[in-house]
Structure 1
């Protein structure tokens, strides 16, 4: 088909009368059209295939192939379905006109032809043809966009209770249009039972308030599978304000919902155990505390840390460590299942109150706590549950846990304080021999503050040269001879005063700072021996004390 913006529009004139062809050629060329000629139907088909004109002026009575047959043949060509055909006939009767339309003619004109009018007739038919063609292209693009977006259009004639669906919607609902009862009741039956009441009330509200309907809902397919859909609708009313029609779109958003769920899972759930992570734990703990404040209830926060999990992870491998975390998560969920908790209805897997904060740390929320005895019973049950042997890859693995407990509102009024205090209680449980549970006490908080202060000052001690070595003689008891010296480290802190090695050495081992301290001790002892030798003194053997943790890290 010729593009009118790039070239003249082409008119194919088909008539066995040479005079008619010449007159048509003169009039149409003067009007700005390009013109091609054919003497009969067969020539017309050949010219049409070769030139693909924008419009055909076709005489009816011609030799070899008349206009009716030629029109039908043109309509069967790939490019001929939408090309306008204007039949020229001298047969001014109804039967000929009807036969022309049956043959596929767009319009007809009778002879003798009014040539002044013809060019306007052709121009009008071409403009209409372009409009129809553009509309079809637009519809095709819209249909393709709807297909890609999994979206269809619908309209409900409220007064007649009749739904009109596009093919896309029938595809989304997987319903055969043939035999489908297109009533509102039939449509509502496709909505998921859990969403029917919500959808019905939302549509009723949109009609009453003359507002846009916008709702996400589930539908049930004929085979029982479910799909997520988003429905939009606009309400049309008559002059009396009655709703007469609602039209809109339905989009299949199943894939989007699946992606949203995946994103939500990554954001709120631990990827190893499937338990709620730190973010979701904090949100739900805040909700639990809000509920407890409103109804003057107590909430227990259990902070659980696995004992010696790192040893298992290092010796058995990280894959076994991950499998162990999964098994522990399942045991914890089974152990606390049935407890009255705030997690139900909030989208948490299995309604579990158990969360994994990271590493080997878990938390458990117990709601509506009546007394400490109930909490003690729960923690003892959890400890026993964790202590039972695990069998992973035909290897028996035994592990225990230490649990710290804080109670709202006794041990804190907010989530941060409660978790911090439960964490402090857990460390106290480890100090008390592991595999036990301890309640938070204020003394633990004071001790934790002291630990933080000690850690902070210890980090500055090396840089500020606050350590000093004392050399204690080692004497042979039989002869009284000094046979050696033992280098003993002491810490004189400007802020804490004299700090006993009994206080800071174990803490340095726990925090890993003992590595730097050991190195300083060896270097300081060597410097002192060098100084003695420089003064002409020959010192005896000098012993230094190194942490076993130091050698373990070096191995």
Structure 2
């Protein structure tokens, strides 16, 4: 009798210990999800019932239990520009084409924008129809901001905020590809300051930096949204003008020139800049980035040689014809 009682108590203690361990494990998982800002969801597709773990309420800007989760509530929180991509990814997963994994933005009730990473998978019934959609959501706003910061350091000029040489190289290739696809023209504009060195020599590099910063702001806010203006050297700038007509290139470039020639005020001192500009055209002058750059650079050098503030169009470099050997 005593032995049986001891065994029973031992089983009770063992069962209690297992329950405590399970509870501790669940508590650890909940804390881990909370601090990692990870939540789980389960969508019963046919009944349109959506379950959210407690963490998801906070991820979407709500107190736990403040709203009743539903697919409509979820999709209405997705940023309008991201709704199509989210629903396309969902449909692809429900059709069995691919795993569901996506980054997208949501809009909180206070109108702030937040980035999420979501992954999931679909459970199918015996007939192969989607039955349940389950997955996780993680808040990645801070990580996105960090990535954007380092991306900006890598691709943008620290002083002016304009694209740097590396980003320019990417964009000129992309622009040529678009021009080929749409059978359109683009202009590559090389611009070199003529009177910047005297400013540095007379007033110091700190003042020169302020002049360049002011110029960068002027260029960023006064050019077409489809165009790229980059700083590729100390006093060298380049512009990619996309989808232009041959008869409007000069007008756009003259507007660009005027941005350089307008005086810049630094500490009540007016600074005047000179500019020399060379232009090459795709596809008239060249069909690849390297040749376009060469033609525009040569045209800019000719403009500089002919006097300040001049604009010169380049010309295609003639290809040498192969010589034929004389018949003996």
Q: Distance in 2 between matches of 1:322 and 1:244?
A: 62
With the length of structure 1 as denominator, give the TM-score of the two structures: 0.54
- Structure 2 gaps of 5+ residues are 319-328
The question of 1:255 aligning with 2:130 is answered no
With the length of structure 2 as denominator, give the TM-score of the two structures: 0.89
Alignment counterpart, residue 299 of structure 1, candidates 175, 186, 208: 186
1:139-288 matches, cutoff 5 A: 139-209=26-96, 211-288=98-175
Q: Distance in 1 between matches of 2:78 and 2:315?
A: 55
Corresponding residue number in structure 1 for 2:281: 407
Q: Distance in 1 between matches of 2:21 and 2:233?
A: 60
Q: Which secondary structure does the structure 1 equivalent of 2:7 belong to?
A: helix
Corresponding residue number in structure 1 for 2:322: none
Corresponding residue number in structure 2 for 1:120: 7
Structure showing greater radius of gyration is 1
Q: Which has the higher contact order (CA 8 A, sep 6+)?
A: 2
Q: Which secondary structure does the structure 2 equivalent of 1:358 belong to?
A: coil
- Figure out how many residues of one structure are paired with residues of the other and give that number: 319
Aligned-pair Cα RMSD in Å = 2.4
1:6-17 matches, cutoff 5 A: none
Q: Distance in 1 between matches of 2:53 and 2:271?
A: 61
Alignment counterpart, residue 300 of structure 2, candidates 417, 422, 426: 426
Is the CA contact (8 Å cut-off) linking 2:162 and 2:220 kept in structure 1? no
Q: Distance in 2 between matches of 1:163 and 1:248?
A: 11
The question of 1:386 aligning with 2:260 is answered yes
Corresponding residue number in structure 1 for 2:218: 331
- Structure 1 gaps of 5+ residues are 1-113, 338-349, 445-555
Q: Which secondary structure does the structure 1 equivalent of 2:260 belong to?
A: helix
Structure 1 consecutive aligned stretches of length 4 or more whose deviation exceeds 6 Å: none
Q: Distance in 1 between matches of 2:7 and 2:93?
A: 49
Corresponding residue number in structure 1 for 2:23: 136
Shift of 1:168: 1.2
Against the structure 1 CA distance between its residues 130 and 217, is the aligned structure 2 distance closer, same or farther, given a 3 Å change threshold?
same
String of CA shifts for 1:477-521, please: whole Å, max 9, x gaps: xxxxxxxxxxxxxxxxxxxxxxxxxxxxxxxxxxxxxxxxxxxxx
Q: Which secondary structure does the structure 1 equivalent of 2:308 belong to?
A: coil
Shift of 1:246: 2.0
String of CA shifts for 1:320-376, please: whole Å, max 9, x gaps: 222211222333345543xxxxxxxxxxxx5542111121111111233433x5333
